[in-house]
Every structure is written in structure tokens, then in C-alpha cells.
């Protein structure tokens, strides 16, 4: 434990009535047995059942797993879309004190094999539509002894090269719901999710029952969710547990809507279902919401989404998209901040009554694009390059550090994670500011920041300033190694006509926001900037290409 | 620990980032520094300050206490109304890992002395208006070495016989806010409250930081409270921490309204303040709300309270009062259930969408008077006289047992509390039913129930049935000891004209709801029934008077 804890007098609440996820689903099923779970089947049809029926199947699934030999501490993998069975396994596996491994079906077979083997999973449940993923994975996951296929079709109709495959629904048919799910030590792992690992191997985050439970309560309270909400889970349940929304929705006894597998061409299906089921909360990246808005723009009768909150993460939503949803449908895009390591809720954007009267319309929209206000329970700090605290004044920029009951304190079974933590705080790798009203605004990734003379220079701020010149099409500012200053900024600029701009003009553009020592020593004009497969500036490639240029510049 | 816990795989959330109440107030002050705390001063004026200013005073108060020698595990008593300083001490005392003793200023000096001595409190802070209570208490609390008076007036103007009194505001003036409140082991006691103890000595409930924190989140989520709420604390902060509303309000960053000391004649002040501060949540017993409604009935311009939830506890609210608030103001009376031992939120009434279409207006109002739906996190069981589980079918009546993270597992430092617990569940002493929709309805106190032949007979149900006879004015059913059946019911009846009613007629009234063996063997006609000082039937007196009658009856 990285904290020094002071002990007071023992309380009469006792030590430890445990926070278990089973409590959430059992409470919902007992108190709101009539509430609905709506789901899309493998065939593309929509169907529904009640919380009571769902919990009955949860218990039967737990019985099935126990009969397959799954016990406390065992790891069980799932390869599935946001389906009804996936949702049941969310409660059945952890209900046995086993660990649900979230298997990202978009990973390469070798990476997914690494994740599966590193977790020690010996049982994997796979949706029929993903058998090919499992078959490619199998050679890279030799520890998996039991494969269970989930399908509405009988086993005899399913073809697969997986060895000794069992059929989930066959097992369910003979299983009874007469199982008492145990009380579980709350620091036990509920599920495991591995970071995508842009650098190095994926790293394992093992969420505790306690962390998931507290996150569910905090999220439900922060989003004011209740039984009259209908929550559509669009963000994959196989990564970051769909941002914790399945659990907060059940805590709130909200209606659940599971879209299953849907193709990019089926945006209209999502929108129609949101209308039909009166969805009030949905989650996703801006890349999911933008096609929805495009579709809505073509509709004659615009849907009335005035109760809908679109919980948006991963990247900053575009202003035009936020305004578009508001103007066409009344829906609010709610920008939230978090990471795999943070369960993920760290901050969420919401307007404050105190600001209503003092912001212009443009300022308010700009604020809505920020990462928002910290969620109660999570501590946020900004630190400089030396780890010193920075003020929350809207000016000082530093790395965002986070700690709290649902923030990791280490990675699973790896030796060298010390650089990701500072005194028990998790280092997000994000650089940002916090203003006097408490709003967090990310400005850069630390890895893209220029570390010069023991200080940091934000590459993105500098890029934005340079791009404000009318002749500049795009710009990238990268760090190049420097013998005296460690790193120096180098600006790569694409101009409209290929002409260079005098350095003094660029420096004048930067003078307002940057100190003199922070200005780039030289500017390189290029025809175009390299981009990654998802369209982001490929700064890694640029850094490699220009690594030797500091000597030239100095 | 009364639970067997299964251990799974260790999580990477770590063991134990602690749930501390300091997190709640610090988060609120940092993220919503502008939010207001409105309070009534000792002089009767209203004033206000911000969360930021409040937290500054909280830290200074902690500094003052530390300089007075208060440290982890020490108990500090408070004698005060729902005042600004009381609110600050709610965070300052537990922030040091010390225990805040809630001192019920309505207790007799000997009882309050017992509570103070049993808790081991050595420091007591007392509002100037309550010096006489402290002076009467002092001889019964010899362990108190430090008395601190809280007043806006200077010490020189304050007269008291208490020895070596210090002056809170004098100490605050020289204290700085530069204190780092420690991280506290979460099972440490946050505060202590003693049961009123109708039988025997008061019993100590010592709430943990963890229990208070979880209760705050659950209450905030259940009541959908947020920054746009304004919460008026009417229920005393000196008993059951005003039902946990101070903490859930701070979790939600709601505006706080502290009415201080107000006389019964000042109901109009409460109503005016609710209007002026746009109060949306207030708590109290029906005995507090009824005079408010009476006052509102006299107002020409009825206040618009459509956002107001009146959180009502202790006894069932009268239907006429609930309807009156709804019809005159739009306010909802929200009936909740709990006890000192349960922090107190166990159940809270709310309507379910599924019932909207299938209940008559009368049925809906009747349902709104029930204790409502369990709060997520709390487990509720009904058991019969042998401790066997009873179904939640709306018919079976049993004792309500409760367990969960904010329910006590023992009383503080007493030896003989085993009869109040069953397998780790707290025995509420309440008898009730739970229907298929999850609604809890209390029917009786177990001590008033007749235990006959190993089964229970509800006295209140039987009384209600007898009173339905047009000639009956009132009735009491009590248990009388019986050599063979342990207890038998005896009905005491007052009729309009003093005439007796044939026993067969009474038995016919009871036939629908009671088995034959449950019917009272005899009925005694009396002129009047004894009542306690607060107007309740004095069944204790009746049981004593008729203890010998079973021999006669059998």
C-alpha cells in the first residue's frame, strides 16, 4: 500500500461488509424485477427480457461455469459483442470470485494470445460470429483448455476447428439457478482488461469488485441516472467494461439496451432503436456519434432526444457535432475523461450554474469541449517535470496524476511499472490545465511534449499558434534531442504555396503564449506531414526522422 | 467479521485507497468553490458563505483541535443546533481521525452524562445557547477536561459555571489553514451516536468513514441530488447525523441550508427560507412538516415547491398531509425507513413506472405511505419467529433484518448485544411485509407482537380490524403470558356507548386476516386506553396491568 493510513477508534460498522458486484444485480433483480434488458440477437432481430429473467440466467451461467471447474481466482475470457450473454457473464463470472478477461477482438492474434496467456485464462467463451478470431487465437493461447461457443443454433450446425468445443446454451438448459453466489473479499479482481499498448506489450489492469462498485455508484450519481433511464451500451464491453456503464445502469435499475454486433452501415438501426426504446444515455467515441448525426440530418422527422446524454470519450468531440446534436435533436454530448487504468471515470463535463451568466455562447461551447470536472472520489493533481505540484489556475500546464478507489496502483505481474506511478498516484501521460472553476483541459500527451532545460513545452499549443497564420496549412512541433537542453522544439510546417514564412513572424505568433526560451530555434518547411493509419499526426516517425537535427540547429 | 469471504485474484486497484469523509468536503470545495452554505446565526439572522470559505474554516478548526491535543481515536462531543460551526466540525473532527460524538441535547443530564462518559469524550464544544445544558451535564461527565464555547460574542461577555472554558472563535482567529488532513483507515469511527434507549441504557453506534461515505453516495444517487439542489437540514445534526443528508449534499455539491435554532413558533421562517433559497430537499418527521403545511394553508400566495422533496422518517406520514403538500405546493413527501443503527438509509419510497398504469389513485397514495424500496447496497430479509426466511409476497409478515456496508455489526463496548443480531444481520425489531414489487411495509414493532405457539400475531393488524367496527372507538391488542402457548393475544376495546360487542362479531371481523388459533380468546372492555407523553398507546403499561390475565382466560 503506497499510503500511510492513520487508525482511529474501531467503528461498529465492522471491518468489511464487502462491496461485491453481485449485490448490484441481485438488488436490481429483486427490487425492479420488471425492468427490461433489450438486446439484439445474432440474427439481427431485437428481443427483450426482464431483470428477473436475466438474474435467473446469471445464476444458471454461474452454475455452468462452476461445473466446468471455474473457481475463485480463475480467469475466464469472453469474445463477444455487446450481447445479452456477454451481459449475463458480466455478473456470473465475477459472482464466483473468478476474473472476467475482457478480450479485445480487434487485437492481432499474437497480441490477444499474449493477453490470454499472461492472464492465465484457461476457459474462453466465444460468440459464434467470432469463432474465426478464436481459431486464429488458439495457437497463441495454449493455456486455454476449455472453449465454449455461444449461439442460438445447435452445436451440430456449428463448424469450427477449435478442439472439444462445448455449447453454452446446451449447458444452460440443464443448469438450475439454485446457487448461492458467495460473498467475495472486495479487493479481489472482478475483471481484467489490457491496455492497447502502443508502446511495448499490453499491460494488465485488474479491476477489483470494490473499484467497480464504487465507480458504478459515482457514475450513477454524477450522471443522475435512475429507473426512468434507458442506457444503450455502444462502447465495447470487451474493453474498459464499456466505461463502467453496465454496472452504473444496473445500480440505477435503468433499462439496458444492448446493440450486439452492428456494422458501420447500420447507424440507422442505432438511431431507430434509440427512438423506439427512448434511450436517455448512450456511450461512444465521436467517431461513432458523427455518422449518427449525419444520418439524423437526412431524416425528415428529427428525433426528440432532449433527455439523451451522449457520453463521449477517447478524443475531444468536434464543436460542430456537439452543436449539431443539440440543434437537431436536443441531445447533449457529454465529454468525459478516463483511461483503462481508471475504470475509467475521472472527469466529466457539465455546466455550472455559476457560469451561466458570465460566459458567452462561444465560451460555453468551448468549455463543454474540455474534459470537465473531477468526479467525487478521484483526486487529481498537476505536476511539473520535477513532480512538483502546479496551481489550478487555468494557466499552469502539467502532467495529470490521478488516485482514488478505482484507480490502479500497479499493473498486473510486470516488474517495471514504477515510472507510471508517483507516490501512489497514477501518471496519466496526459498534460493539461485545471482552471479556477475546476475544469480540466488536456493540452497534450506527455510523450509529445518537449522537455527542455527541466521544463515542458506543449507541442499542441505551439502547433495551434503556428496554424493560426493564414498561409499555414498544418504544423507539427516535435522534440529533438539536444546535448545541453535535453530536448529542443522543432517546428515542421506545411504552407499553402510552399513558401517559407520569416522566423520572426512565427515567433511573433508565439510570443503571447510562450516564453522566449521556449520558441523553436528553427522551422523546417515540408510538403506534407506523415499520418498514422487512423489519421493522427505520426510524431513517432517525425521524431525518428529529425532525431539528429539538434546538432544542426544549435 | 460475521461473514465468510472468498478470496479471488488480487486486483491492481490495490488493497485499500481509503474512503474518508475528508475526500467529500475537499472535492466539493475544490471543484465547486463557489457553492453556498446558508446559515442562521445565533441572533436569528441569515448569512451565507462559500464551500471554499467553509473548507478553509474546517481546516482551521482541525488545527485548533489538534492544538487542543485532539488526536486519532479521541472522542470530541458537540452540543449545538444545525449551525454553521456544527457543519464545520462535521468534517474537522473526523478529518483528524477523531470521533465526533453526537450529543442529543434533549436527553436527561444523567443519560447524556452516561453517553459522554461511555464514549470517553474529553473535549466538548458547546453553543452559547446550550451552556445551561452543558452546565447540568458537567457533574455527570467527569471525564470532560476541555470545554469550548462557540459564540459570536467575546468570551468576556459570556457567563458560565463551566471550568476553564475556551472560546472557539478566539482559537480560530490565530489558527492557519495549512494542515494536511491525513488519510484514515476507513473502518475507523467517524462519529458516534447513541440510541435513545427506550429499554435500558443508550447503546453506542460508531459510524465508520467507509459507512458514511458509501451512505452519502447511495443517498445522493437514490435521491438524484446534484449541484442544482438546495438541501435544508431540519432533522437534528446531533442524532443520526441528520439522516446522512449533510454528507450526501456535500457529495452532490448541493447548496446547504442550516436553519440553526428555531422555535416551534417559527415555522413561517422555515417556509420563507425554503422559498427564498429555492430549497429542493428537506428532511424531518411528519410532526415538523404538518405545521408547515398548516402555515402554507393560510398563505395567500402558495409557494411553488414542485422541485421539493420532503424526506420524511420516524413515523408514517398522514395521507392528508402528503396530499396537502402535493395539492397546495407540488412538493412530494418522500417516506424513508431507517434507524440510528443503519446510518440510516435502508429504504425509500418512490413510484415505479410499471405501476403507473395499474394502480388506482387511492392505491398509489397508500403505496406512497409504505417504507418503500430498499436502497441498493443494503440487503433486507424477512424472518419468522424461528429465524427462517419468509417470501417477499406482500402477505408473509416477519421481522425485518438488514445488513450492508453502513449497517452496524455490533454495539460499542457492550457485552450483551447478541440478541440484536442474527448471522451478521442486524435485527431491526420491526415487523413488516415486502411485496412482489419490492415495497417494504412495516406492520408492527416486534416487542408489541404476540408470540404464540412459535408464531407471531401482529397486534396492529388486529387493532385495525377491530376498529373497523362502527361502535369501536379504539382498541389495543397486547400479549399476555400463557403457560402453554407462551403468549396469547388480549384485546382491550373502548366502545362508543360503553356497551360490549358479542365476541363472535369481533371474531367475524378478524376472520379474513387471521387464522382461528390467532383470534383473541377474550376481549376486555375499558373506558379508555393509557397513552404515553407523546400520545402513543402505552402498551408497556397495559402489558404490566394484564400480565396475569391469561390464567383467567385459559
What's the angle, vertex CA A222, arms to CA A360 and CA A322, rounded to 5? 40
Cβ contact, residue pair B13, A220, below 8 Å = no
Cβ–Cβ gap B214/A217 under 8 Å: yes
> What residues contact residue A442 under an 8 Å CB cut-off, 6+ apart?
A316, A337, A371, A400, A430, A431, A432
- Cell reading at B282: 428537506
Query: What distance in Å separates residue A297's CA from the closest CA in chain B?
Result: 32
The active-site residue out of B451, B471, B503, B540 is B451
Q: Indicate the pairing of strand B189-194 with strand B99-102.
A: parallel
Helix (H, G, I), strand (E, B) or coil at B201: coil
**Are A16 and B5 inside 8 Å of each other by CB?**
yes
Interface subset of A 398-427, CB within 8 angstroms of B: 403-412
Q: Angle at which helices B21-31 and B51-67 pack, to 10 degrees?
A: 140
Touching check for B177 and chain A: CB below 8 Å? Answer: no
Q: How many CB atoms lie within 10 A of CB B521?
A: 17
pLDDT averaged over every residue in chain A = 93
Paired residues of A399 in beta bridges? A383, A431
Over residues A421-442, mean pLDDT:
94
Taking contacts as CB-CB distances below 8 angstroms, the residues of chain A near B14 are 1-2, 187, 408-410
* Cβ under 8 Å to A: B residues 230-259: 251-253
Q: In B191-262, which ranges are continuous DSSP H helix?
A: 209-222, 245-251
Which of B98, B226, B405 has the CB atom closest to A19's CB atom? B405
Coil, helix or strand at residue A26: helix
Inspect the interface and report whether the beta carbons of A73 and B7 lie closer than 8 Å.
Answer: yes
CA distances in angstroms from B486 to B419, B454, B507, B547, listed in the order given: 19, 8, 22, 12
User: CB contact, 8 Å: B99 with chain A?
Assistant: yes
Residue ranges of A 179-238 with Cβ closer than 8 A to chain B: 182-185, 187-190, 204-211, 214, 217-218, 220-221, 224-228
| pLDDT confidence of residue B50 | 98
Between these two residues, A14 and A323, which has the higher pLDDT value? A323
- pLDDT (mean) for A280-290: 93
Give the whole-angstrom CA distance, residue A430 versus residue A414: 22
| Nearest residue in A to B100, CA atom | A9
pTM (2 d.p.): 0.93
E-state strands within A319-367: 332-337, 347-348
Q: Which of B457, B385, B462 is nearest to B427 (CA)?
A: B385
Searching chain B, which residue's CA lies closest to the CA of residue A10? Answer: B188
Cβ contact B352–A24 (<8 Å):
no
**Can you tell me the mean pLDDT for A492-509?**
92
| Cβ <8 Å between A32 and B218 | no
Please report the pLDDT score of residue A173 as a whole number.
96
Looking at residue B1, its pLDDT comes to 61
pLDDT of residue A554: 44
The percentage of residues in chain A with a pLDDT greater than 70, rounded to a whole number, is: 98
> What fold characterizes domain B361-447?
Luciferase; domain 3 (2.30.38)
CB atoms closer than 10 angstroms to residue B548: 10
* Domain assignments of chain A as residue spans, ordered by start: 21-345, 361-404+415-447, 449-553
Question: A248: nearest CA in chain B?
Answer: B221
Q: Tell me, yes or no, if B52 comes closer than 8 A to chain A by beta carbon.
A: no
Give the Cα separation of B307 and B226 in Å (integer). 13
Q: How far is Cα A372 from Cα A404, in angstroms, rounded to an integer?
A: 18
As a whole number, mean pLDDT of residues A234-248 equals: 96
Average pLDDT in the A364-374 region? 94
Q: What is the reported pLDDT for A198?
A: 60
Q: With 90 as the cut, is the pLDDT of residue A130 above it?
A: yes
Per-residue pLDDT tens digits of chain B, which is 554 residues long:
677 899 999 999 876 799 999 999 999 999 999 999 999 999 899 999 999 999 999 999 999 999 999 999 999 999 999 999 999 999 999 999 999 999 999 999 999 999 999 999 999 999 999 999 999 999 999 999 999 999 999 999 999 999 989 999 999 999 999 999 999 999 999 999 998 765 678 999 999 999 999 999 999 999 999 999 999 999 999 989 999 999 999 999 999 999 999 877 889 999 999 999 999 999 998 889 999 999 999 999 999 999 999 999 878 889 999 999 999 999 999 999 999 999 999 999 998 988 988 999 999 999 999 999 999 999 999 999 999 999 999 999 999 999 999 999 999 998 888 899 998 899 999 999 999 999 999 999 898 889 888 888 888 889 988 998 999 999 999 999 888 888 999 999 999 998 999 999 999 999 888 888 889 988 999 999 998 766 778 888 898 899 877 655 44
List of residues 6+ apart from B23 with CB closer than 8 A: A376, A377, A379, B213
Of B128, B186, B277, B341, the active-site residue reads B341
Above 60 in pLDDT, residue A227?
A: yes
Characterize B222-260 residue by residue with b for buried, 16 or more Cβ atoms within 10 angstroms of its Cβ, and e for exposed.
bbbbbbebbbbbbbbbbbbbbbbbbbbbbbbbbbbbbbb
Read off the pLDDT of each residue in A356-379 and give the average, rounded to a whole number: 93
C-alpha cell read off for B347: 429504504
Which pLDDT value is given to residue A1?
61
CB pairs under 8 A between A and B: 267
Distance of CA A190 to the CA centre of its chain: 17
Q: What is A361-404+415-447's CATH topology?
A: Luciferase; domain 3 (2.30.38)
Contact B6 A184 (CB under 8 A): yes
Contact B187 A15 (CB under 8 A): yes
Q: Is B195 a catalytic residue?
A: yes
State how far the Cα of B12 lies from the Cα of A417, in Å rounded to an integer.
12
Is B449-553 in the same CATH topology as B21-345? no
Catalytic residues of A: 195, 341, 451, 456
CA distance A184 to chain B (A): 5
In chain B, which residues have their Cβ closer than 8 Å to the Cβ of A437?
33-34
Please count the other Cβ atoms lying within 10 Å of the Cβ belonging to residue B536.
9
Of B228, B377, B379, nearest to A353 by CB-CB distance is: B228
Per-residue pLDDT averaged across A305-320, rounded? Answer: 92
For residue B465, how many other CB atoms are within 10 A of its CB?
20
- Given 3.40.50.920, 3.40.50.10190, 2.60.40.10, 3.30.300.30, which CATH number is that of B449-553? 3.30.300.30
A17, A24, A437: residue with CB nearest B404: A17
B350 to A115, B122, B259, B364: CA distances (angstroms):
45, 43, 27, 10
* Residue B456 annotated in active site: yes
The Cα of A34 is separated from the nearest Cα of chain B by a number of Å equal to 7
CATH topology of domain A21-345: Rossmann fold (3.40.50)
- Active-site option among B36, B456, B463, B487: B456
Tell me how far CA of residue B309 lies from CA of B181, B316, B338, B342, B345, in angstroms.
34, 16, 17, 21, 15
Which of B27, B226, B412 has the CB atom closest to A12's CB atom? B412
Q: What is the pLDDT of residues B163-199, one digit of tens each?
A: 989 999 999 999 999 999 999 999 999 999 998 765 6
Amino acid at each position: 500500500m503506497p499510503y500511510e493510513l492513520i487508525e482511529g477508534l474501531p467503528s461498529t460498522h465492522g471491518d468489511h461488509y464487502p462491496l461485491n458486484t453481485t449485490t448490484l444485480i441481485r438488488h436490481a433483480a429483486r427490487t425492479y424485477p420488471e425492468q427490461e434488458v433489450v438486446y439484439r440477437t445474432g440474427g439481427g432481430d431485437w428481443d427483450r427480457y426482464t431483470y428477473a429473467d436475466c438474474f435467473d440466467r446469471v445464476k444458471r451461467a454461474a452454475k455452468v461455469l462452476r461445473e466446468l471447474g471455474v473457481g475463485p481466482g480463475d480467469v475466464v475470457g469472453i469474445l463477444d459483442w455487446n450481447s445479452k450473454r456477454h451481459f449475463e457473464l458480466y455478473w456470473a463470472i465475477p459472482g464466483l470470485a473468478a476474473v472476467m478477461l475482457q478480450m479485445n477482438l480487434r487485437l492481432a492474434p499474437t497480441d490477444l494470445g499474449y493477453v490470454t496467456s499472461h492472464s492465465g485464462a484457461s476457459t474462453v467463451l466465444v460468440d459464434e460470429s467470432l469463432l474465426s478470431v478464436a481459431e486464429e487465437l488458439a495457437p497463441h493461447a495454449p493455456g486455454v483448455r476449455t472453449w465454449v461457443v455461444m449461439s442460438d443454433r445447435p452445436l451440430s450446425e456449428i463448424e469450427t476447428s477449435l478442439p472439444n468445443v462445448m455449447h453454452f446454451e446446451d449447458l444452460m438448459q440443464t443448469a438450475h439457478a439454485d446457487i448461492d453466489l458467495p460473498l467475495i473479499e472486495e479487493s479481489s479482481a472482478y475483471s481484467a482488461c489490457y491496455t492497447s499498448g502502443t508502446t511495448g506489450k499490453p499491460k494488465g489492469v485488474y479491476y477489483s469488485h470494490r473499484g467497480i462498485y464504487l465507480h458504478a455508484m459515482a457514475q450513477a450519481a454524477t450522471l443522475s441516472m435512475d429507473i426512468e433511464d434507458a442506457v444503450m451500451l455502444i462502447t465495447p464491453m470487451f474493453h474498459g467494461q464499456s466505461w463502467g456503464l453496465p454496472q452504473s445502469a444496473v445500480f440505477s435499475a435503468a433499462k439496458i439496451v444492448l446493440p450486439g454486433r452492428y456494422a458501420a452501415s447500420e447507424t440507422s438501426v442505432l438511431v431507430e432503436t434509440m427512438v423506439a426504446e427512448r434511450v436517455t444515455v448512450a456511450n461512444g467515441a465521436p467517431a461513432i456519434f458523427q455518422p449518427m448525426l449525419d444520418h439524423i440530418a437526412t431524416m425528415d422527422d428529427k428525433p426528440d432526444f432532449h433527455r439523451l446524454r451522449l457520453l463521449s470519450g477517447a478524443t475531444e468531440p468536434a464543436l460542430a457535432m456537439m452543436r449539431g446534436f443539440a440543434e437537431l435533436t436536443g441531445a447533449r454530448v457529454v465529454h468525459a475523461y478516463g483511461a483503462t487504468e481508471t475504470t475509467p471515470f475521472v472527469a466529466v463535463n457539465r455546466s455550472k450554474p455559476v457560469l451561466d451568466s458570465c460566459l458567452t455562447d462561444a465560451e460555453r461551447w468551448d468549455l463543454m469541449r474540455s474534459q470537465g470536472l473531477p468526479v467525487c472520489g478521484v483526486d487529481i493533481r498537476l505536476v511539473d517535470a520535477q513532480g512538483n505540484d502546479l496551481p489550478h489556475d487555468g494557466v499552469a500546464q502539467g502532467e495529470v496524476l490521478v488516485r482514488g478507489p478505482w484507480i490502479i496502483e500497479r499493473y498486473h505481474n510486470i516488474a517495471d511499472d514504477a515510472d507510471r506511478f508517483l507516490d501512489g498516484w497514477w501518471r496519466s501521460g496526459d498534460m493539461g490545465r485545471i482552471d479556477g472553476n475546476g475544469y480540466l483541459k488536456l493540452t497534450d500527451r506527455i510523450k509529445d511534449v518537449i522537455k527542455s532545460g527541466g521544463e515542458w513545452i506543449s507541442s499542441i499549443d505551439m502547433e495551434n499558434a503556428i496554424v493560426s497564420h493564414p498561409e499555414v496549412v498544418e504544423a507539427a512541433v516535435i522534440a529533438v534531442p539536444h546535448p545541453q537542453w535535453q530536448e529542443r522544439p522543432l517546428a515542421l510546417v506545411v504552407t499553402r504555396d510552399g513558401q517559407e514564412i520569416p522566423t520572426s513572424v512565427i515567433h511573433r505568433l508565439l510570443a503571447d503564449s510562450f516564453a522566449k526560451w521556449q520558441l523553436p530555434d528553427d522551422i523546417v518547411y515540408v510538403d506534407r506531414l506523415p499520418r498514422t493509419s487512423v489519421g493522427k499526426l505520426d510524431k513517432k516517425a517525425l521524431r525518428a526522422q529529425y532525431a539528429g537535427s539538434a546538432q544542426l540547429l544549435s
